Amino acid sequence: MDLRKFAESMDTVDLGIVSRELELVERGLVLEEQGKTLRFRVRGAEHLECIAGVLNTRSKLYRLLGVDRDVDAYRRILEAVEKPAKAKETNFDMKEIEVDLLKLPFIKFFPRDGGLYATSCIYIACLENSCNASIHRTMVVDRRSLVARIVPRHLHYIVEQNRSKGMETKIAIAIGAPPAALLAAATSPPFGVFEMNVATSIDPELRIAYTPRYGLPVPMPSAVVIEGRITMELVDEGPFVDILALYDRVRRQPLIKVDALYVDESQLFHVVIPSGSEHRLLQSFYREALVWQSVSKVVPRVHKVRFTRGSGSWLHAVVSITKAHEGDGKNAILATFAAHPSLKLVVVVDEDIDPDNIDEVEWAIATRFQGDRDLVVIPRARCSTLDPSSEDGLCTKIGIDATKPLHGGEMFERVRMGTR
CA 409 to chain centre: 42
State the Cα angle at 149 between 99 and 179, rounded to 5°.
75
Q: What single-letter amino acid sits at 196? A: M
Answer yes or no: are the C-beta atoms of 387 and 344 closer than 8 Å: yes
Q: How far apart are CA 160 and CA 169, in angstroms?
A: 9
DSSP per-residue codes, 254-277:
EEEEEEEEEE-TTS-EE-PPTTSH
Annotation says 359 is catalytic: no
- Sorted by sequence, the CB contacts under 8 Å of residue 335 that are 6+ apart come out as 291, 294, 295, 297, 298
Q: How far apart are CA 335 and CA 236, in angstroms?
A: 38
**How far from 372 is each of 180, 375, 403, CA to CA, in Å?**
46, 6, 14
Q: For strand 316-322 and strand 345-350, is the pairing parallel, antiparallel, or unpaired? A: parallel
Q: Which of 2, 70, 113, 242 is catalytic?
A: 242
| Nearest CA among 123, 312, 148, 314 for reference residue 231 | 148
Tell me 103's DSSP state. G
Q: Where are the alpha helices (DSSP H) in 8-149?
A: 23-33, 58-65, 70-82
Task: Based on DSSP, count helices (H) and strands (E) in the chain, helices before strands.
Answer: 11, 23
Determine how many CB atoms are found less than 10 A away from the CB of residue 345: 19
Residues labelled catalytic: 242
